[in-house]
Structure 1
Amino acid sequence: MEKGIRGASSVTTMAQTKKVPGIAPPDGGWGWMIVAGCFIVTVCTRAVTRCISIFFVEFQMQFARDYSGTAWIHSLVDCVTMLCAPLGSFIGNRLSCRIAIILGGFLASTGLVLSSFATSLEYLYLTLGILTGMGFALCYTPAIAMVGKYFCERKALAYGIAMSGSGIGTFVLAPAVQLLIEHYSWRGALLILGGFVSNLCVCGALMRPITLKEEEISDTSPAETEHEYTIKQNCLNSPPVQLISKDREQSCFCFQSIQEYRFLLMPDFVVLAVSFLFLAYGCSVPFVYLVPYSLNVGVSHQQAAFLMSILGVIDIVGNITFGWLTDRRCLKKYRNICYMIAVAMEGLCCLFIPLLQSFPLLVPFSVLFGYFDGAYVALIPVVTSDVVGTTYLSSALGVVYFLHAIPYLVSPPIAGWLVDRTGTYTAAFLLSGFSLISCSMLLCGAAVIEKCRRTRSGTYTTTNTDPKLQNWKNSQANC
């Protein structure tokens, strides 16, 4: 009798946990407002981070410090943004993406405003490097994850438009920041940038929550053990006023954390994560050393700066056009292959740099490298979503961008050490190129092994091995 009552109670509880019906990704409507919000987030985070380098000379003159000490400001902003990306995912999952972005916008804006009152370089390390970088981290990952929740059919195009904010923002903000410095000094420019970055709070307000069918299905997985189910019911059924013991509260917290990061055990994601380490190392070196290399082979300062402008503009074209192309029906099933090709082509461009020793020859390099760089950047969230599913996208992107942090931090010094030891830029660019090609070859090898395994077993299942996502994947095969 008691077992029957308990079983009926469990059924009733499970029915009560699905009060909000899930919907399919709308692929439009308010989704375009989410894309617009994510576009502005990338402008206010990635573009502003790039523009911080414009303040270097002003900081050197103001605080009488060398280039090495001043360069740590930019490194800290970039590294903290990536290192704290999982924190942005954590807050977005626990509270909401809207709250995470609004909080991040407040921190980033406060960091820039406080930086305008700096009295030392160490002060800037704390305010501009750590505080602003942490604010950017809370905004960046949740905004990108929201786009994946609102789009399925046109996901690559949506991400292409959203991620193009980095290139467009750099193209517009770079001269604007220089004018602000000339008219209002570096302190006034930082103060105005702080006000501009506060628009992140407005972007956060646009992030309307949505519950997908995939997330609804994942709430009742047949793969759950009896112990997991018991813990889950204890977490869900606790009355709001009831005082929960510390042991029970800790078990609920641990269970939720395990559920959010169980994609880490997926073989496909492990391979993808390792490939990102090679990718992050290879892609950062050309951006740092293209101008010094150009000057070394006799290109003028104006032409070297123009090469970077070309690279930035074509990067925007790559974001949007490659996203649109991979959304076509003929290419949608081969988005992973398109991603591998884009990364490999970028690596080949790096291998040929030592042979290009004049401005007319370096222009095609800037065009090709910029296009394929924009192409793979737009596809990173798409490829990640294809591997882990929309349910885990926010947490997965946090891990993905976290993996970018260390290569971003160490790759320029390693390349600089190679230049000092060899006296040329050849070794630095070759290592960058081989790193990018290794990323592509690793993914290609994993795909071939997976295909051979399926052929031998005679089964043709989806590439995602998580049982929680199979029903959704099968019903949304065209995504």
Structure 2
Amino acid sequence: MVFEKSPDGGWGWVIVLVSFFTQFLCYGSPLAVGVLYLEWLDTFEEGKGKTAWVGSLASGVGLLASPVCGVCVSAFGARPVTVFSSFMVAGGLMMSSFAPNIYFLFFSYGILVGLGCGLLYTATVAITCQYFDRRRGLALGLISTGSSVGLFIYAALQKELIKLYGLEGCLLVVGALSLNILVCGSLMRPLHSRSSSLPAKSYLEKIPDQYLIYNEKEKNVDEENVNILEKASTEGKGVNKPCSSDCKQDSLMNKNRLSSITSKETDVYKMKVAEQTYFYKQLAKNKWYLYLDYREETLGLFKNRVFSSLFVAIFFFDIGGFPPSLLMEDIARSSNISEENHIIPLVSIIGIMTAIGKLALGILADFEWINTLYLYALTLIMTSVALFLIPFAQSYIILAILSGVLGFLSGNWSIFPYVTTKTVGIEKLAHACGILMFSAGLGNSLGPPIVGWFYDWTKSYNAAFYFGGLCVLCGGVLLLVTALPCWDRLNGSDRHEKPLPHIGSYKVSFTA
């Protein structure tokens, strides 16, 4: 589908505003789940690995379902998806307040809230990219700061709500706040398709002739049935006594009337059968073609070397880079750092620095002389260095600095849709983002439980963060190496494709 030209302003700024608040309201609690994580550890007394599944599912399920989310947004539009998803998020949060055990939280908080957040994220990114082209990096950076600001505010808010109303009251209040997403969704006015539709034919005119005109065999069967009826009527007349002329005339008129009524009913019945037959055949054929198109497009995306590298790099990044935002409070407690020394919650530091990082990296992505792909790979490598340093942090100040660095670098999420758009184009953005977020969902779902299991086995987080840092480093190096232009010359692709532009005007043109 080809949309109208992006206005790069106007109502687009309203879209940015409501998308910001949508991500603020839906992601605030799931990203600040580290505060709830400590409460759930004390309430249900389960292992750290099992309890970490709640927060990891809340962040991972929506991303795992991103291919489905992308299809939903493409099929129904951003506004209906946003309205529907607001009830999922609010309902999941409120149901979690009545959770009798950790397994109930897997469904209510992990699956329901996570799936709703995934739908909302895809909707906000898709409609923002429709409204912005030249300023797309800035727009995506602004809306993605919504989740980071939500993390900063909700970390402190949930702590205060737990003190005032307990864990159950906290979840009820947060669930009620998320209903404001309804207002945001109502303002997401979509851009219309640029292609003008031709005057639609009536439904009957679209039906091929073979479904409306029956072949000679069917006509012969109908004539044969009429002949049998006439023969039976004639034989019946021979048995009865002769009637008067008036009686014969009335009988003939009744017969003609009955014949005309029967003929009309038969034609109507045939028409209905033809319509239904054609409808179901076309429906099955269209669904099959849609499946084939989706499969072909997916295979085509993975033939792009940059896209395949992004898929792997994002998976490794989320395995190692996501757990600190969920477990940093417990890391401080495990390092015997007293909560009295916490000037600001570590989760809040991650949140505010993530917001700054998203905005700063989004602005950098709009500069023509910056290659956004290399910028994204650089953030991965720097994240791995910060993860390697966490085991050496034995004070609140050092943990706060590392939390700020990790938060700023995780702001690369704002340029992720930007890189994806430059890689596959705006027409395939929803599809490509769905696949890449599926990879991120796998990492988000597995990362915190892996870190928790490492702690359960070794009674220390050191080995877990060495492992996480190594994963992120491998992803960053892989992405950086596969993006080098020399691969095209080695593969001889420069004979068939246009040469890669210089680093200042980055546009992906490599294939596997």
Report whether the alignment pairs 1:404 with 2:440. Answer: yes
Instruction: Check whether the contact 2:64–2:437 (CA below 8 A) recurs between aligned residues.
Output: yes
**Which residue number corresponds to residue 282 of structure 1?**
320
Following superposition of structure 1 onto structure 2, how do residues 311-326 of structure 1 map, counting pairs within 5 Å?
Answer: 311-326=350-365
SS at match of 1:188: helix
Residues matched between the structures, number = 423
SS at match of 1:329: coil
CA drift of 1:168 comes to 0.7
Instruction: Check whether the contact 1:348–1:433 (CA below 8 A) recurs between aligned residues.
Output: yes
**Which residue number corresponds to residue 252 of structure 2?**
none
CA drift of 1:403 comes to 1.4
CA drift of 1:388 comes to 1.4
Report whether the alignment pairs 1:66 with 2:53. Answer: no
**Which residue number corresponds to residue 430 of structure 2?**
394
Report whether the alignment pairs 1:430 with 2:466. Answer: yes
Amino acid at match of 2:173: I
Instruction: Check whether the contact 2:34–2:329 (CA below 8 A) recurs between aligned residues.
Output: no
RMSD over equivalenced CA pairs, Å:
3.2
Counterpart-to-counterpart distance in 2, 1:291 and 1:190 = 19
**Which residue number corresponds to residue 369 of structure 1?**
406
Deviations 1:416-475 (A, max 9, x none): 444455565433222222222221211222212444347752732652479xxxxxxxxx
Match among 267, 279, 283 for residue 249 of structure 1: 283
CA drift of 1:347 comes to 1.4
CA drift of 1:158 comes to 0.9
Counterpart-to-counterpart distance in 2, 1:430 and 1:70 = 22
Runs of 5+ in structure 2 lacking a partner? 198-202, 208-271, 501-506
Instruction: Check whether the contact 1:56–1:70 (CA below 8 A) recurs between aligned residues.
Output: yes
Counterpart-to-counterpart distance in 2, 1:123 and 1:428 = 27
Cα 1:41–1:238 change in 2 (3 A) is farther
Cα 1:31–1:311 change in 2 (3 A) is same
**Which residue number corresponds to residue 85 of structure 1?**
66
Higher mean alpha-carbon deviation, 143-152 vs 362-371, is at 362-371
Instruction: Check whether the contact 2:61–2:118 (CA below 8 A) recurs between aligned residues.
Output: yes
Deviations 1:226-263 (A, max 9, x none): xxxxxxxxx9x957x95444443122123234445604
Amino acid at match of 1:139: L
Higher mean alpha-carbon deviation, 201-210 vs 262-271, is at 262-271
SS at match of 1:198: helix
Cα 1:343–1:185 change in 2 (3 A) is same
Report whether the alignment pairs 1:192 with 2:173. Answer: yes
Cα 1:31–1:127 change in 2 (3 A) is same
CA drift of 1:302 comes to 4.0
Instruction: Check whether the contact 1:264–1:270 (CA below 8 A) recurs between aligned residues.
Output: no
**Which residue number corresponds to residue 50 of structure 1?**
31
Instruction: Check whether the contact 2:38–2:330 (CA below 8 A) recurs between aligned residues.
Output: no
Counterpart-to-counterpart distance in 1, 2:390 and 2:51 = 28
**Which residue number corresponds to residue 56 of structure 2?**
75
Cα 1:59–1:343 change in 2 (3 A) is closer
SS at match of 1:330: coil
Cα 1:125–1:345 change in 2 (3 A) is closer
SS at match of 1:460: coil
Higher mean alpha-carbon deviation, 112-121 vs 129-138, is at 112-121
Cα 1:120–1:353 change in 2 (3 A) is closer
Runs of 5+ in structure 1 lacking a partner? 1-17, 220-234, 467-479
CA drift of 1:89 comes to 1.4
Following superposition of structure 1 onto structure 2, how do residues 169-188 of structure 1 map, counting pairs within 5 Å?
Answer: 169-188=150-169
Counterpart-to-counterpart distance in 1, 2:80 and 2:62 = 18
Counterpart-to-counterpart distance in 1, 2:467 and 2:59 = 22
CA drift of 1:104 comes to 0.9
Counterpart-to-counterpart distance in 2, 1:91 and 1:104 = 11
CA drift of 1:283 comes to 0.9
Counterpart-to-counterpart distance in 2, 1:292 and 1:177 = 16
Match among 454, 463, 478 for residue 508 of structure 2: 463
CA drift of 1:37 comes to 2.0
**Identity over aligned pairs, percent:** 27
CA drift of 1:103 comes to 1.0
Instruction: Check whether the contact 2:34–2:347 (CA below 8 A) recurs between aligned residues.
Output: no
SS at match of 2:191: coil
**Which residue number corresponds to residue 374 of structure 2?**
337
Counterpart-to-counterpart distance in 2, 1:254 and 1:450 = 37
**Which residue number corresponds to residue 204 of structure 1?**
185
Instruction: Check whether the contact 1:354–1:426 (CA below 8 A) recurs between aligned residues.
Output: yes
Counterpart-to-counterpart distance in 1, 2:396 and 2:156 = 23
Counterpart-to-counterpart distance in 1, 2:75 and 2:439 = 22
CA drift of 1:139 comes to 1.6
Counterpart-to-counterpart distance in 1, 2:105 and 2:134 = 44
Deviations 1:163-187 (A, max 9, x none): 1111211211222233333333433
Amino acid at match of 2:508: T
Report whether the alignment pairs 1:163 with 2:147. Answer: no
Match among 343, 348, 366 for residue 309 of structure 1: 348
Cα 1:263–1:29 change in 2 (3 A) is farther
Match among 317, 323, 328 for residue 367 of structure 2: 328
Normalising by the residue count of structure 1, what TM-score does the alignment of the two structures yield?
0.78
Counterpart-to-counterpart distance in 2, 1:123 and 1:29 = 45
CA drift of 1:401 comes to 1.6
Amino acid at match of 1:385: T
Deviations 1:172-211 (A, max 9, x none): 1222233333333433332322221112222222222224
Match among 378, 390, 415 for residue 414 of structure 2: 378
Cα 1:26–1:278 change in 2 (3 A) is same
Cα 1:401–1:356 change in 2 (3 A) is same
CA drift of 1:306 comes to 4.0
Instruction: Check whether the contact 1:27–1:154 (CA below 8 A) recurs between aligned residues.
Output: yes
Higher mean alpha-carbon deviation, 104-113 vs 334-343, is at 104-113
| Max Rg structure | 2
**Which residue number corresponds to residue 413 of structure 1?**
449
Whose relative contact order is higher, 1 or 2, with alpha carbons under 8 Å and at least 6 apart?
A: 2
CA drift of 1:383 comes to 0.9
SS at match of 1:153: coil
